[in-house]
Amino acid sequence: MNRHAIIVAGGKGLRMGAQIPKQFLELNGMPVLMHTIKSFRFDPNIFVTVVLPSDQFEYWNWLCQKHRFNLPHQLVKGGDTRFQSVRNGLKAIPQNADLVAIHDGVRPILSQQIIENGFEVASQKGNAIAVVRLKDSIRKQELTGNNHSVNRANYFLVQTPQTFEYNVLWEAYQQAEDDNFTDDASVVEAMGKKINLIEGDYKNIKITTPEDLLVAAVFLQ
């Protein structure tokens, strides 16, 4: 099938305390975003679109020259929000696309198995969302200030990639943006679609803090 990946990399990385956005920070010899793109290029037939703020295009192109990074991908201008960035990425994909995987640019440790499983389940059921189970006990705090334990077996941590049939995803992103849209699954769910969960990976971490970068380096080694 005609498979695409949209990699969204519009973060400023404020919690990293770094001078450059976190997708450009070096991880084991190359920028985080390059590792992420490489994850999808095990199959040359997966077309990769990278969504970046337009003022970062020049710097990204310079990094690609510096690291001799020549894996094919197209750059698309990001929006003011993640919702707008994904929608811009969708507009850049040919309408004959069958499946689209949306992935965070700062999740550089992504297994081929999760990618393939996402595409396979989405082709059969319409979508596939990578999740992992909670390891720690959790508590819920009510508006009153009281808190109580809840059964962690009923909750999951949501990751990316989140993979969808193109037509469903395109229709979902024609909706008006809503504060309740926390990820792509929530956008599709707002149309009344059932969301299908697949097993993610605890190593598929999102680089958010300096500690995450250290952990990712260990995983890559």
- C-alpha 11/C-alpha 81 separation (Å) is 10
Closest C-alpha among 53, 27, 22 to residue 39: 27
Closest C-alpha among 44, 47, 158 to residue 104: 158
Distance of CA 48 to the CA centre of its chain: 12
Instruction: List, in order, residues 6 or more apart from 159 with CB less than 8 Å away.
Output: 107, 130, 131, 132, 200, 201, 204, 206
- C-alpha 21/C-alpha 99 separation (Å) is 29
pTM of the prediction? Answer: 0.94
Q: Give the pLDDT mean for 167-177.
A: 97
> Is the pLDDT at 14 greater than 60, yes or no?
no
Closest C-alpha among 127, 133, 130 to residue 187: 127
Which residue in the block uniquely carries the two structure tokens 């979902």? 172
CATH topology of domain 3-220: Spore Coat Polysaccharide Biosynthesis Protein SpsA; Chain A (3.90.550)
> Is the pLDDT at 164 greater than 60, yes or no?
yes
Give the tens place of pLDDT for each residue, 35-62: 999 999 999 999 999 999 999 999 999 9
Q: Give the pLDDT mean for 204-214.
A: 94
Give the N- to C-terminal CA distance of the chain in Å, as an integer. Answer: 33
pLDDT band at 100 (very low <50, low <70, confident <90, very high): very high
